[in-house]
Structure 1
Amino acid sequence: MAEVPYSIEAHWYSDLLSFFSDTSNLAAWGAITGTIGVLAGLINLVLRVREHIRDQSKIAAEPVFDFTINPEEANPKFSIVVRAIGRRTVTLDKVEYYYQPSEERFSFLRKHYMWKRRKWVSHDEIQPNNQPVQLSEGTSRTVPISPSRVKNIRHIRRVRIVDQAGRGWRVKWPGRKEITFLTSQDKIKHCEKTTDDKFCKLVGYRAGDKWYVTVQWSSGDLFRSIASRYFSYRDRASFERKFGDLQENQIDRFLSGEITKFE
């Protein structure tokens, strides 16, 4: 008897027909392809939503509590840095400040109810020289906090940046204890030494989250040749070491004429 030649194509096709002729196999295949289609649709939806969000106006804002350093004390120089992180240009309008009601008996819900009714809320315009401030993606603007706000800054509980369309964004405002620490200052140490023709004065204080040592010195005419400089540190230990070195070492060397300035 003649041998029938084996055909790979015919064998593959017959196996495929037998696979799909079984209803359980067909249902499983439909479930697999359906699941893949649903997942692909969800991924596409997420990508489209993310793209839509990026196309909107969006800003991020945070406060900066800096100080101008003087020999005796530091002067507040507080501001809010506003950054545009959306693709559309945003036009800034004002900064809204929400204050803690004067009576501590106000509950959390009562306080927010009053804010919603625009009580204990005030604002400052963001339009220097009556010119609108526009931010495009990737740009930023520093908005100074006015002296009147600085005076009562420990009573501010919330801050918002509002654009000309009326949309608002929360500023990352610190809590009550943290803002009290970041906006306060304390004089910690003081030292003063003089000779017949020289004098030197040290003042050490904390302003916000930094520690400062300021030094003033003069030789000759005490009223016309006064020089000064300051050193700043992020931690108390470094501040203590520097103040100790100046007090116990460099001041005496300056008064004896061994050095003419402080390092």
Structure 2
Amino acid sequence: MEADSLTQTLAIWGAVTGSIGTIAGIANLILRLKQHKKDQPNLLCSSNFSFEHSSGTVQAKHKLTLRSVGKKPVTIDYVRYFIKPKEFWQSLFRQRSWSKSRWVYDDKPRTTMQITEGQKEDIGICMPNGLTIPEIVKVEIYDQSGKSWKVKWPSANKLAIEVYHEQLHESEEQNPERLCKVSGYIAAGKYHIYAHWNPTPKNKTLFKGKFFHLKNETEYQSKLRDILDVQQPKILACELDEVA
């Protein structure tokens, strides 16, 4: 009986230690795989759409941001933009067209770009003539070894809003005393007004400007009418020194 009990105890102990060894082996393998992945080149790629506002004009500053999170440096070869085909059947089988390098646009950096661990680099989004950003469906970054990384890219509807801009109003009124310009435009779904005038009567070499950022079209129209119908005439008549 004692021999049987001892044998059973040893069997249980062997099973337990064997299980522990197996678990430890699996855990070690997982850690090694994670370390191996971390040691490889790796990029986190995102897109950013913004506008620079200056004196009533707007300039697109759209860019791709690349962050290296791997141990090995990455040398960027080119950016590939995947375009939505215009024909219905081509659009339906666009993956096939893309695999044959059709309806794609490759943009190579002007200078060699190498990104090391923890480093961030920006690449301006630049389209050739005849191609617009809303036509882009997805974007990938390729390094010199042929490895690719997907760029986080917005949906078609969101993209159309984020890159859209249009001049809505532009006028200029002046007299011997003063000059007042007013510009209105929409960019990335937001409305803006810029007023520009000379604060010192008869001195038209020194000007002052003020931006107004409005939430929606209703606020924009209300503010524009207030500036044009009420404040601008007072500025020109020297009854007001600043647009507010």
Q: TM-score range by the shorter chain?
A: 0.7 to 0.9
Number of aligned positions between the proteins: 241
Aligned residue among 26, 48, 67 for 1:83: 67
Instruction: Write the distance in 1 (CA, Å) between the matches of 2:23 and 2:217.
Output: 56
Report the equivalent of 1:120.
103
Instruction: Write the distance in 1 (CA, Å) between the matches of 2:6 and 2:52.
Output: 84
Return the letter of the residue paired with 1:67.
Answer: F
**When the two structures are superposed, what TM-score results if normalisation uses the length of structure 1?**
0.74
Alignment of 1:145-164 (within 5 A): 145-148=125-128, 151-164=131-144
Unaligned runs of 5+ in 2: none
Deviation of 1:251 (Å): 5.3
State the SS of the aligned residue for 2:145. Answer: coil
Report the equivalent of 1:36.
20
Report the equivalent of 1:228.
209
Mean Cα displacement is larger for which, 240-249 or 75-84? 240-249
Report the equivalent of 2:148.
168
State the SS of the aligned residue for 1:148. Answer: coil
Report the equivalent of 1:139.
119
CA contact (8 A) 2:164 2:189 kept: no
Instruction: Write the distance in 2 (CA, Å) between the matches of 1:160 and 1:202.
Output: 41
State the SS of the aligned residue for 2:62. Answer: strand
Report the equivalent of 1:21.
6
**When the two structures are superposed, what TM-score results if normalisation uses the length of structure 2?**
0.79
Report the equivalent of 1:104.
88
State the SS of the aligned residue for 2:128. Answer: helix
Q: 1:238 to 1:26 in 2, by over 3 A?
A: farther
Alignment of 1:190-229 (within 5 A): 197-219=177-199, 220-221=201-202, 224-229=205-210
Compare CA radii of gyration and give the structure with the larger one. Answer: 1
Identity score, percent: 26
Q: 1:19 to 1:89 in 2, by over 3 A?
A: farther
Deviation of 1:51 (Å): 0.7
Instruction: Write the distance in 2 (CA, Å) between the matches of 1:137 and 1:239.
Output: 46
State the SS of the aligned residue for 1:106. Answer: helix
